[in-house]
Amino acid sequence: MNVFDRAYDDPVRVLDEDGTVVGEVPDLVDDELVELYRYMKLARHFDGRAVSLQRQGRMGTYPPLSGQEGAQIGSAFALGDDDWIVPSYREHGAALVRGVPLKQTLLYWMGHVDGNRAPDDANVFPVAVPIASQVPHATGAAWASTLRGEDDAFVCYFGDGATSEGDFHEGVNFAGVFDTPTVFFCNNNQWAISVPRERQTRSATLAQKAEAYGIDGVQVDGMDPLAVYAVTKAAVEKARDPDADRPRPTLIEAIQYRFGAHTTADDPTVYRDEGEVETWKRKDPIPRLERYLRAEGVLDDERVAEIEAGVKTQVADAIDEAESVPRPGPRDLFEHAYAELPPELRAQYESFAATREEHGDAAFLEE
């Protein structure tokens, strides 16, 4: 049976909450499974450290991803080398898998624009903050790929709230019409800041919004990394190599939960129950996969301890690296607005540089 041929409210599942197999396990070798697990641990640990950095005033506002590792890592893991991701602001986990170093992510949230420049070989679009605005980009970029006769797939991430924006509608509709190789991956974490999923739209599922565009829509348990992997893989393959009867684009609704605050500036206790959080924590993707891998004999205490130690070092190193990057200077402010600095902008820069020269940096920098 094709994975897309199911009711919209029947999520694809592989592992139960306790790690028992309840669906078709995707074809991954042990090393890959461990790597998937390691990435989730890394993302989780990074997340906690990033939140502390913010609390300590070493970083600005930061959007935690804890709880959403299964969806992010599971999906990014399903991509081929030449495929792309088009993220929102919460997909550092997915970006990491696709080659964006943690240092970059830290820099970005530390207010260094360099953090938004992924390495040239990382097929990752920049963070998109205006909600859903990246959706048409993913359609356009994927369209370019087919126009050039290439066969890259593009996975676009966005939240449940994003489905209400016009850009979601326009971007997915274009994808349907031009049959672009795009996978629209909705991280339905139940909340758009303080607005619960049920107040975002009256449709029973988000997956069924695919009906409006004549494309496949499917739900997946977003806290089941193997299920996410499987469904994303199927969608990417269909995008790359369509069969005659199905459209290339797919809308995936990955049901999950954000354990933490919307961002470090948010206090979720104002609008949601601790009880709800606790319920969802039972679905935590990390112990779930761990239980399965232990049961399969792929992981044991030693291996887990090793991974945990490695993850800690990796994050600590990234923080050191990021914090040792010098504060950018005025030149960085003017660079790249245009390919070449127009004369008036050069004049603005020079005049500012002279003022700074005269008064010293202290006259400008707060803190």
Partner 1 sequence: MTETQNLTLVQAVRDGLYTEMGRDDEVVVLGQDVGKNGGVFRATEGLFDEFGGDRVVDTPLAESGIVGCAVGMAAMGMKPVPEIQFSGFMYPGFDQIVSHMARFRTRTRGRFTLPMTLRAPYGGGIRAPEHHSESKEAFYAHEAGLKVVMPSTPHDTKGLLIAAIRDPDPVVFLEPKLIYRAFREDVPTEAYTVPIGEAATRREGDDVAVFTYGAMTRPTLEAAENLAEEGIECEVVDLRTVSPLDREAIVDAFERTGRATVVHEAPKTGGLAGEITAIIQEEALLYQEAPITRVTGFDVPYPLYALEDYYLPNVTRVEEGIREAVEFNP
Catalytic annotation on 44?
Answer: no
The span from the CA of 208 to the CA of 213, in Å, is 10
Identify which of residues 129 and 309 has a Cβ nearer to partner 1 in the complex: 129
Fill in the DSSP letter of residue 210.
G
Between the alpha carbon of residue 109 and those of residues 73, 121, 134, 259, the distances in Å are 20, 22, 19, 20
For the chain, what is the radius of gyration of the CA atoms?
21
Catalytic annotation on 327?
Answer: no
The span from the CA of 292 to the CA of 287, in Å, is 8
Identify which of residues 157 and 292 has a Cβ nearer to Mg ion in the complex: 157
Identify which of residues 135 and 226 has a Cβ nearer to its own copies in the complex: 135
Identify which of residues 4 and 158 has a Cβ nearer to ligand TPP in the complex: 158
- In the chain, what's the furthest Cα-to-Cα distance? 72
Fill in the DSSP letter of residue 12.
B
Identify which of residues 72 and 250 has a Cβ nearer to ligand TPP in the complex: 72
Q: Which amino acid, one-letter code, is at 113?
A: V
Fill in the DSSP letter of residue 124.
B
Name the minimum Å distance from CB 277 to its own copies.
Answer: 24
Which residue among 70, 87, 140, 247 contacts its own copies (CB under 8 A)? 247
Spell out the alpha helix ranges (H) of 193-266: 197-200, 225-240
Residues 222-281 that bind ligand TPP (CB under 6 A): 262
In the beta sheet, which residues pair with residue 85? 124, 155
Residues 60-89 that bind partner 1 (CB under 8 A): 60-61, 86, 89
Let me know: does 218 contact 3? Beta carbons within 8 Å: yes
Let me know: does 227 contact 11? Beta carbons within 8 Å: yes
Which residue among 4, 8, 46, 143 contacts partner 1 (CB under 8 A)? 143
Identify which of residues 3 and 183 has a Cβ nearer to ligand TPP in the complex: 183
Which residue among 209, 233, 238, 283 contacts its own copies (CB under 8 A)? 209
Local structure of 255: helix, strand or coil: strand
Catalytic annotation on 169?
Answer: no
Name the minimum Å distance from CB 9 to ligand TPP.
Answer: 19
Let me know: does 127 contact 87? Beta carbons within 8 Å: yes
- Interacting stretch for ligand TPP, rule CB under 6 A, among 18-26, 107-115, 126-134, 287-295? 126-134
Out of Mg ion, its own copies, partner 1, none, which partner does residue 208 contact, by CB within 5 to 8 A per kind?
Answer: its own copies
Query: Using the rule CB under 5 A, is 159 a contact of Mg ion?
Result: yes
Query: Using the rule CB under 5 A, is 94 a contact of Mg ion?
Result: no
Catalytic residue among 90, 92, 98, 262: 262
- Interacting stretch for its own copies, rule CB under 8 A, among 26-34, 59-67, 147-155, 193-201? 193-201
The span from the CA of 123 to the CA of 120, in Å, is 8
Catalytic residue among 199, 271, 331, 336: 271
Count the site residues for its own copies by CB under 8 A. Answer: 25
The span from the CA of 87 to the CA of 292, in Å, is 29
Catalytic residue among 112, 258, 288, 292: 258
Interacting residue ranges for Mg ion, rule: CB under 5 A:
159-160, 189, 192
The set of catalytic residues is 258, 262, 271
